[in-house]
Structure 1
Amino acid sequence: MRRSKYFKEFKIQVVQEAKEVGNKAAVAGRYEVHENLVKKWVKEFDEHSELAVQWYVLKELEQENDQLKRLLGEKDLEIAILRDLLKKKNPHLRRSWK
C-alpha cells in the first residue's frame, strides 16, 4: 500500500470544506482521499485548531508582506527613474538630490 504525503494547505482546505459541508465522505470523494483520512484530519484539526489557524494566518500575512515588499520596490524604482528624468531636464537640481 502506498502512503502519500499531503501538504498542510491541502489538509486545511479539506478539513474546512468537510466542516462546512458536514459530509466527510462527499468531501473525501471530491478530493480522492479515503474518508477515514478526512476524519483523522478533522480530529487533528480540532485538537490543534489554534495552531492550525495561527499557521494559516501566518501564511496569509507572509504572502501579504511579500506583495507589499514588491510594491515598495516598484515605487522606489519609479522614484529613482523620475528623479533621473528630472535631473536630465533640470541640470541645476543635480547638486540638491542624490
Structure 2
Amino acid sequence: MDKFIRRFTEDERVKYVNEALEYGSNILVAKKYDLHPSLLSRWISNYRRYGKTLAPKEQIEKDIIPNYKKEYKKIKKELEEKDLEIKILRDLLKKKNLL
C-alpha cells in the first residue's frame, strides 16, 4: 500500500474552513472532502487566531522557551522565596496575636 501526501493550497483550506463555519459541522465537511476532522479543526483554529489556516512560523518559535531548564530553576527559586516570605509573615502574625 503506497502512501501519498495530499497538499492543499491556502485557498482550498480557506474554502473548507468557511464551509465548515457556515454549516457548523466540521465532521460533515471533513467527510465531504475526505479530510481528517482534527486537521480541519486545526485549520479553523489557526484561521480564527491568525487569519490563515497555517500558524506563522515566527509565532510558533516565539512560544517555545529556549532554555526551559534555566527557566524552571528560576521559577522554582522564586517559589521558594515566596514560601519563605509566607512563613515569615505567618510567624509575625502569631507573635503579634500573642502580645
**TM bucket by the smaller chain?**
0.3 to 0.5
How high is the TM-score relative to the length of structure 1?
0.47
Instruction: Tell me the TM-score normalised to structure 2 length.
Output: 0.47
Which has a greater percent of helix?
A: 1
